[in-house]
Amino acid sequence: MTKLHLRFLVSCLIMFTISHLLMVSSRGPIYKPPSVERLTDRFRSTPVVGKMTTFFGASNINIKSNGSYADIILDKTSGSGLVSKDKYHHGFFSVAIKLPMGDTSGVVLAFYMSNSDVFPHNHDEIDFELLGHERRKQWVLQTNIYGNGSVKTGREEKFYLWFDPTQQFHQYSMLWNTHHIVFLVDNIPVREVIYNQASSSIYPSKPMSLYTTIWDGSEWATHGGKYPVNYKYAPFVASLGEVKIEGCLVTKTNSTSTGSCSKSSTLLTSDPVEGIEYAKLTSQQTIGLNWARSKHMFYSYCKDTSRYKVLPPECKA
């Protein structure tokens, strides 16, 4: 091998290394997730059309695979979304989602629970919000909860994902019971809100519907609204499936009930996640939670002293 060839190979290797580092740095450091229990395996999947129906933007919803999967689409005409046919008080709620590729600045994909239709100014929410970014940048995961409040009383935390969410389906799950609320991504807990005296005022307590929506969040989603949706890259198509909804079902005649799930109740079905195995995280799950928060969380309202001159009580608990 001549010196010229050797120099060429070395130059190529350097360029490859630099480009790889730039790619990694643009998405943040890539860490291998720890092994955790597959909580999703405990619950059975159901077709999208079995548990959910059109919320808005019917023309931008494509049902596929005999109802097992669906595409929800955002374009210049409209966003779109699905809503559960029933309301639930506690339970396990999960969906596998593949996000749109390319320049997705301003695009918001939300998987969340809410009762704003019943309590418009005093409602509860448990939110996953996936926030699009400008080209060659990663999506951001935002989690949020509030009870008996509004968007002004949210408790946001933001994470960088450890994978490319546009290449394949990934599972986003919520566990909600009287003990805690757990947000999980591919079965790894990224956030736990424990019910106690400090958190009781913000802890969701009323039955909620489950939603999956895609919409234009240009005013705030990407760098505080710096990058709005560029419809040159539309349509933005999110695919979802592997829906798992097992909760304490609330009858329509009791849709505003705030009572606990009980096997003896005539208005509420039994709670599938109230057992001791769902009361706290396992040691593996705790390791996963600490990993996600130390390696991938980049914003927590509990550390936002410019927003809160006095931190909320649950931040000090």
Where would I find the beta strands (DSSP E) of the chain? 52-56, 61-64, 69-74, 80-84, 87-98, 107-114, 123-131, 140-149, 157-160, 170-176, 180-185, 188-194, 209-216, 236-250, 297-300
Where would I find the beta strands (DSSP E) of 8-106? 52-56, 61-64, 69-74, 80-84, 87-98
What are the DSSP calls for 213-225, one per residue? Answer: EEEE-TTTTTGGG
Distance CA 303, CA 317 (A): 14
- Structurally, at CATH architecture level, domain 39-316 sits in Sandwich (2.60)
Cis ω on the peptide bond leading into residue 47 (within 30° of 0)? Answer: no
* Nearby residues of 10 by Cβ (< 8 Å), 6 or more positions away: none
What residues form DSSP beta bridges with 157? 143, 300
Cα(first)–Cα(last) distance of the chain, in Å?
66
The yes-or-no answer on residue 129 being catalytic is: yes
Single-letter amino acid code for the residue at 167: Q
Distance CA 73, CA 57 (A): 8
Catalytic residue among 37, 129, 274, 314: 129
Distance CA 144, CA 202 (A): 11
Q: What would the pLDDT profile of 62-103 be if each residue is shown by its tens digit? A: 999 999 999 999 999 999 999 999 999 999 999 999 999 989
φ, ψ for residue 19, nearest 5 deg: -65, -35
Average pLDDT score, the chain: 87
Which parts of 141-249 fold into alpha helices (H)?
Answer: none
Place of tokens 């210049």: 76
Q: What DSSP character marks residue 257?
A: -
pLDDT of 270 higher than 80: no
pLDDT of 190 higher than 70: yes
Catalytic residue among 37, 125, 192, 242: 125
Give the neighbor-by-neighbor strand order of the sheet with 52-56.
52-56, 80-84, 209-216, 107-114, 123-131, 140-149, 157-160, 297-300
Categorize the per-residue pLDDT at 177 as very low, low, confident or very high, splitting at 50, 70 and 90.
very high
Return the percentage of the chain with pLDDT > 90, whole number.
Answer: 69
The yes-or-no answer on residue 277 being catalytic is: no
Q: What angle do CA 113, 223, 240 make, to 5 degrees?
A: 40
The continuous run of DSSP H or E covering 8 comes out as: helix 3-27
Distance CA 253, CA 288 (A): 40
Which has the closest alpha carbon to 83: 241, 252, 247, 210?
210
Where would I find the beta strands (DSSP E) of 155-227? 157-160, 170-176, 180-185, 188-194, 209-216
> What average pLDDT does this structure show over 13-40?
63
Categorize the per-residue pLDDT at 149 as very low, low, confident or very high, splitting at 50, 70 and 90.
confident
pTM (global) more than 0.85 = yes
pLDDT of residue 258: 46
Q: What would the pLDDT profile of 29-74 be if each residue is shown by its tens digit? A: 667 899 999 999 999 999 999 999 999 999 999 999 999 999 999 9
pLDDT of 284 higher than 90: yes
> What average pLDDT does this structure show over 106-121?
94
SS3 252: helix
Show the tokens assigned to 173. Answer: 């799950």
